[in-house]
Chains A and B, each alone.
Chain A
C-alpha cells in the first residue's frame, strides 16, 4: 500500500524568506502523480503544484517549486519570497492510476505560518 509522510507538523517562516516543506512516499508503482495542495484556514483546498513521475524535470509554478527525487521517493516543496497569504495547511498527495481510475493518498499535512 502507498503511504505519504510529511515529517514536519508545523513550520514558520518570515515574510519574503524561503521555506521548504518535506514529503516522502512509499510505492512500488512506476507511473503516478504527485501534488502539493494548500488549505488556508476555513477555506477551500487548492492545487499548488503537480509533478508527473515520468518527468525528470522539477515542476515550478511562480514562487513554488518542487525537488522531485524519484529514486529516493522524495517530493519537497519550496516556497520562495513567502507571503502572508501563504499561511495554510499544506498537503502532499500521491495519486496512482489503477483499476481504470484514480486513488489519492494524502500526507498528514504541514501547517505553515508566515510571519510579518
Chain B
C-alpha cells in the first residue's frame, strides 16, 4: 500500500506570494492533518480534515487555510507569505476514528520544505 505523498517536496517563494501544498493520504484513510515544523516552535498542529470537513484547527492566522476533496486528498494554502512561514509542512493521514483497529493512528508524509525569501 502506498504511503502518504506530499507535493512539491521543496518550494521557494517570496514574501507576499501565496502557496498551495498538496497531500495524498493512504488509500482508505479519510482524515488528513497538517502540521508546521520549525526549529524554534517545533511541531504545531494546523488543522484536521475528515470527509471534506474541517473538524479541528490550531492557533494559526487566517492566512493558513485548507480543504479536502472527495477522494480525501487535501490541500493547504498560505496566503501573503511571511519570512516566518518558512518551515517543513507535514501532513498525516488516518482512518479518522471509525471502527478500524487503531483508526486514530496517523501516518506521516515526507513533508514539503517551504522557504520564504
A contact set with B: CB distance below 8 Å:
33, 37, 43-47, 50, 91, 95, 97-109
Contact (Cβ within 8 A) A103 B58: yes
Q: Is the interface of B mostly helix, strand, loop or mixed?
A: strand
Give the residue of B43, B55, B111 whose beta carbon is less than 8 angstroms from that of A102: B55
- Knowing A101-B48, A101-B55, A103-B56, the reply to whether A109 touches B108 (Cβ < 8 A) is no
Q: How many residues of B contact A (CB 8 A)?
A: 27
| B33 part of interface (Cβ distance < 8 Å) | yes
Q: Name the segment of B11-19, B21-29, B71-79, B97-105 touching the other chain.
A: B97-105
Residues in B9-54 with C-beta less than 8 Å from chain A:
31, 33, 35, 42-45, 48, 50
Roughly how many angstroms separate A97 CA and B105 CA in the complex, as a whole number? 12
- Supply 16 further A-B pairs (C-beta < 8 A) apart from A44-B109, A103-B48, A105-B45: A33-B104, A44-B108, A45-B108, A91-B43, A95-B104, A97-B104, A100-B50, A101-B96, A101-B97, A102-B31, A102-B56, A102-B97, A106-B42, A108-B42, A109-B42, A109-B43
Shortest CB distance A25–B (Å)? 14
Residues of A within 8 A of B56 (CB): 98-99, 101-103
- Knowing A44-B110, A47-B105, A99-B55, the reply to whether A104 touches B45 (Cβ < 8 A) is yes
Give the residue of B44, B50, B107, B111 whose beta carbon is less than 8 angstroms from that of A101: B50
Roughly how many angstroms separate A95 CA and B58 CA in the complex, as a whole number? 13
Q: Is the interface of A mostly helix, strand, loop or mixed?
A: strand
Contact (Cβ within 8 A) B31 A101: yes
Residues of A within 8 A of B44 (CB): 106
Residues of B within 8 A of A108 (CB): 42
23 A–B contacts from the bound complex (CB under 8 Å): A33-B104, A44-B3, A44-B108, A45-B92, A46-B108, A47-B105, A47-B107, A50-B102, A50-B105, A98-B56, A99-B56, A100-B50, A101-B31, A101-B48, A101-B96, A102-B33, A102-B55, A102-B96, A103-B48, A104-B33, A104-B45, A109-B42, A109-B43
